[in-house]
Chain A
Amino acid sequence: MSQAAVETRDLTRRFGTLVAVRQLTLRIEPGEVFGLLGPNGSGKTTTIRMLCGLLEPTTGSALVAGIDVAVAPEQVKQRIGYMSQKFGLYEDLTVAENLDFYGGIYGLPQAARAARSSEVIAFLELDRRLDELGSQLSGGWKQRLALGCALLHRPVVLFLDEPTAGVDPAARRNFWRAISELATQGTTVIVTTHYMDEAERCGRLAMLSGGHLIALGTPGEVAAQVGGRTLEDAFIILQERDER
């Protein structure tokens, strides 16, 4: 079997007495668009943060691009891209300055940085926004810039935590077009979302509830496992079950 993009075994994270993620075991193949679905507090963000080395797992293990996140988080960081829920770039820097900064931070040599930067700018159509400050951008453009900064170093695995929250439908569609494009180029994309139409676009999904995995498979399979005709039914059933 070839090396998985992400492989977790009994991955668990506690915050005090709260178990945010409970014994999660997953295997995600290279080039997959993999969705993490679940209501608020189901453990999606905690899972992503552990996989990115932002939170230490309490128990269990996770390999990202073949590297154990608990052992060598810094080596993992060179191979992944990450977009947090909240816009995490500098609002007092321009689009070009943000890109240049992250290019530098990811250690791209000067010449390669400029070339790669232009590629990313063309790919995300950022060319006319280069001199705008982060604070002047709309939600959709902020999200594209964030994606751009996360792509500069050609990550093997891309983690997107609710990337399209608060973004208009047209911008969302464009964003997903870019995601699909990246996946066909071989990048593994792991995305959390609340939107059903986005979940449908994922190759496979993991549905989380109360910190543990309750369904895994293609969108159709997941819907059936949770007991709904559609994914949306499944999600609502799940949320109601959670609220009880």
Chain B
Amino acid sequence: MMSRFWPMFRKEFVQMRRDRLTLGIMIGIPVVQLLLFGYAIQTDVRNLATVVLDQSRTPESRDVIAAFQNTGNFRIVAHVDDRPALDRAIARGDAQAGIIVPYDYPRRLGRGTTATLQVIVDAGDPLASQAAISAAAGVAQVRNLAILSHATGRASVPVEVRVRPRYNPGLRSPNYIVPGLVGVILTITMVLITAMAIVRERERGTLEQLIVTPITKTELMLGKIAPYVGVGLIQMTAVLALGRFVFDVPLTGNVLLLYTIALIFVVASLALGLFISTLVRTQQQAMQVSFFFVLPNILLSGFMFPRQAMPEVFQWMGLLLPLTHFLKVLRGILLKGVGLEALWQEVLVLAGFAALMIVLSVRRFRKTLD
């Protein structure tokens, strides 16, 4: 049993090595994607283009406008003279925020009544506007606190909440994105590679010759995926190294444990591709089915959008994707430094998924031409 695994493995390995273009793409894609995603994706939105309508033009109004600017969330691009001009600027997209300081701002401030400022935010992009909205509220709070404590004569504030952001104290996007990217890249390339594997042989006519031999289905399947396990681990190494040295993403936990679990995840992804390969008849179909599978992985796994925000049904659907579980492992080990005691459930799910896919592929594959 399994004596024909090695010839199959060697053959796949030689073919893989000889196909320079594909090999180059497999190693090149992770690097390019990492640089793209790493630099491009910044979820903390700063420097929102802002127009100002300062109707009072007093030292007090200039002071409060400067306070907005100092938060770093607002970048003043223009001053306008009337409300329609401000609305137009936001409507056209020249600015995403507008600050209106009314005529009576200094007067009301001096009299001790409520002085009202208006901040208009283009909330078409909720992610971009959120930071600005909370920053605007912060500006008011800081001023209120200063004025009230001055009035009451207290030297310190009554209540203070100290928030400690653990595991990613700088709230840096790359720390969140790069570990996720390891999982996404592995999913895309591993599934696609093996989804093509069997149909390619079918299309080239080499499968017919192969299935008149006594090779068993299991030997054929395992021999096909084994060489790509190495490719997957090389990809992961490339992304982690770049993440570490270019984006300063920490490698907090046990790297050996990470590689061990990654191995299981890679096998699971390859086996899923293999299963796709047994469902389709042409390489083009294989490609389409793979992409159909990849998209929910990016959307539902928690790679970019927090799973906690999703309706429960979609959270459940996300649990069916191996990537969802592997992301927990990646972030757990890389950012939190946790070990197997916190991740054993994910490991079991991944191993179960891999085994299920291999069994399904072997059962679906027929050594006949019907």
From B7, B15, B208, B367, contact of A73 by CB (8 A): B367
Contact of A107 among B19, B205, B214 (CB under 8 A): B214
Give which listed residue, B4, B14, B205, B370, contacts A93 with CB less than 8 A: B14
Q: Evaluate contact between A105 and B205: CB separation under 8 angstroms.
A: no
* Interchain CB contact under 8 A, A77 and B214: yes
**Least distance between A188 CB and chain B CB atoms (Å):** 16
Q: Is the CB of A90 within 8 A of B212?
A: no
- CB-CB contacts of B247-286 with A at 8 A, as 1s and 0s? 0000000000000000000000000000000000000000
Is A141 part of the binding interface, using a Cβ–Cβ cutoff of 8 Å?
A: no
Interface: B159 (CB within 8 A):
no
Indicate if B150 sits at the interface (CB-CB under 8 A).
no
Complex interface: chain A residues within 8 A of B134 (CB): none
User: A14 CA to B240 CA in the complex, in Å?
Assistant: 56
Query: Could you say which of B208, B215, B367, B368 contacts A105, with CB atoms under 8 Å apart?
Result: B215
> In whole angstroms, what is the CA distance A118 to B216 when docked?
26
CB of A101 within 8 A of CB of B205, answer: no
A53 to B4, CA, bound (A): 19
Knowing A88-B208, A101-B10, say if A106 contacts B367 (CB, 8 Å).
no
A93 contacts across to B, CB distance below 8 A: 11, 14-15, 18
Given contacts A49-B369, A106-B213, are A88 and B206 in contact (CB under 8 A)?
Answer: yes
Contact partners of B206 in chain A: CB under 8 A = 88-90
Any A CB within 8 A of the CB of B8: yes
Nearest Cβ on chain A to B212's Cβ, whole angstroms: 4
Residues of B within 8 Å of A107, CB to CB, are: 3-4, 214
Known: A88-B205, A92-B18, A107-B214. A97 touches B369 (CB 8 A): no
Name the A residues within 8 Å of B11 (CB-CB): 90, 93, 97, 101
- Knowing A104-B7, A106-B213, the reply to whether A84 touches B368 (Cβ < 8 A) is no
Of chain B, the residue at the smallest CB distance from A78 is: B214
Complex-state Cα separation, A91 to B13, whole angstroms: 15
Task: Tell me, yes or no, whether A54 is within 8 Å of chain B by CB.
Answer: yes
A90-B11, A93-B11, A93-B15 as given contacts; A54 in contact with B213, CB under 8 Å:
no
Q: What's the minimum C-beta distance from B363 to chain A, rounded to whole angstroms?
A: 16
Partner of B14, one of A82, A97, A106, A146: A97
Near A by CB (< 8 A), chain B positions 152-177 give: none
The CA of A61 and the CA of B204, in the complex, are separated in Å by 31
Residues 202-221 of chain B: 1 if any A CB is under 8 Å from the residue's CB, otherwise 0? 00111011111111100000
Which chain A residues border B19 with CB–CB below 8 Å?
92
Specify the chain A residue showing the minimal Cβ separation from B9: A104
- Given A101-B7, A105-B8, check contact A55 B212 (CB 8 Å): no
Which among B7, B18, B369 is the interface contact of A54 at CB below 8 angstroms?
Answer: B369
A213 contacts B by Cβ under 8 Å: no
Interface size on B, residues (CB 8 A): 27
The B62-86 residues at the A interface (CB cut-off 8 A) are: none
Q: Are A53 and B212 in contact (CB under 8 A)?
A: yes
| A105 B212 Cβ-Cβ under 8 A | no
Which residues 8-37 of B sit at the A interface, judged by CB distance below 8 A? 8, 10-11, 14-15, 18-19
B39 interface residue per 8 A CB criterion: no
**A244 in contact (CB, < 8 A):** no
Residue in chain A with minimal CB distance to B205: A86
- Please indicate the chain B residues that have their CB under 8 angstroms from the CB of A73 in the complex: 367-368
Contacts of B204 in A (CB 8 A): 91
Contacts of B3 in A (CB 8 A): 107
B6 CB within 8 Å of chain A: yes
**CB <8 Å contact, A84 and B213:** no
Instruction: Rank and list the top 7 A-B pairs by shortest CB-CB distance, nearest first.
Output: A104-B7, A88-B209, A82-B212, A86-B205, A78-B214, A77-B214, A101-B11
* Besides the known contacts A73-B367, A105-B4, A105-B8, 19 further A-B residue pairs in the complex with CB atoms under 8 A apart: A49-B369, A54-B212, A56-B368, A56-B370, A73-B368, A74-B367, A77-B214, A78-B214, A89-B209, A90-B206, A93-B18, A97-B14, A101-B7, A101-B11, A102-B213, A104-B6, A104-B8, A106-B213, A107-B3
